[in-house]
């Protein structure tokens, strides 16, 4: 008995199944070897720049991405006049793009719409509606952020997020 027959008996497969599995494994290994030699093995934690091919660390890439996000959120917004008061307004595509990167303290809670509140990270449509209902039940009289803990679904962690993104007047 040769090696394939013994292995086929141990694994409870036929000789033909064993040959097919062996062929697939050989093809897979050949593909991996060719890919490594063709593309070269580049460490996963470094990237290279265009001209001088210096490696860039993950920390540098993260800091560049953070800077780009800050520049994106610091872009000026369109201003429209409504009833004699200036108010900033995002287009729908802008609101979706900045949903997770809204700058701190930009939404006035007393006049915020559910759409504006839902741009805050961790606040969906349902939670935004609850916040609006809470504001209406208090007739806009909210002494501090601690009052928002009465809203169902608002805990300490979500309250911290709201403090970063809301202005109480």
Q: Where are the domains of the chain?
A: 3-53, 78-167
Predicted pLDDT of residue 1: 67
CATH of 78-167, one of 1.10.150.320, 3.40.50.300, 1.20.120.330, 1.10.3720.10: 1.10.150.320
Long-range CB contact pairs, 52-60, < 8 A, 24+: none
Predicted pLDDT of residue 99: 43
d(CA 79, CA 69): 22
Contact at 8 Å (CB) between 153 and 162?
Answer: no
d(CA 32, CA 34): 6
Residues in CB range of 60: below 8 A, 6 or more apart:
none
Residues in CB range of 109: below 8 A, 6 or more apart:
131, 135, 142, 166, 167, 168, 169
Contact at 8 Å (CB) between 103 and 121?
Answer: no
Tens digit of each residue's pLDDT, the chain (169 residues): 688 778 788 888 888 888 899 999 999 999 999 888 877 665 555 555 555 566 667 777 777 787 887 777 765 554 444 444 444 444 444 444 444 444 445 788 888 888 888 888 888 899 999 999 988 998 888 888 888 888 888 888 888 888 888 888 7
d(CA 29, CA 33): 6
Predicted pLDDT of residue 100: 42
What is the three-class DSSP state of 1?
A: coil
CB atoms within 10 A of CB 9: 12
Predicted pLDDT of residue 76: 53
Predicted pLDDT of residue 69: 78
Pairing of strands 46-48, 78-82: unpaired
């Amino acid at each position: 008995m040769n090696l394939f027959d013994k292995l086929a008996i141990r694994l409870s497969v036929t000789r033909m199944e064993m040959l097919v599995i062996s062929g697939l494994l050989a093809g897979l290994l050949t593909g991996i070897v060719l890919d490594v030699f063709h593309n070269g093995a580049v460490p996963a934690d470094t990237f290279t720049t265009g001209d001088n091919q210096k490696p860039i660390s993950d920390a540098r890439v993260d800091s560049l991405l953070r800077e780009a996000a800050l520049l994106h959120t610091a872009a000026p917004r369109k201003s429209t006049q409504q009833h004699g008061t200036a108010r900033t307004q995002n287009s729908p595509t802008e609101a979706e793009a900045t949903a997770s990167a809204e700058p701190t303290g930009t939404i006035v809670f007393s006049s915020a719409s559910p759409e504006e509140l839902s741009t805050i990270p961790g606040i969906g449509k349902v939670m935004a509606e609850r916040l609006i209902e809470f504001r209406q039940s208090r007739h806009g009289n909210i002494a501090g952020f601690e009052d928002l803990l009465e809203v169902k679904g608002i805990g300490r962690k979500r309250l911290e997020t709201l403090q970063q993104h809301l202005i109480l007047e």
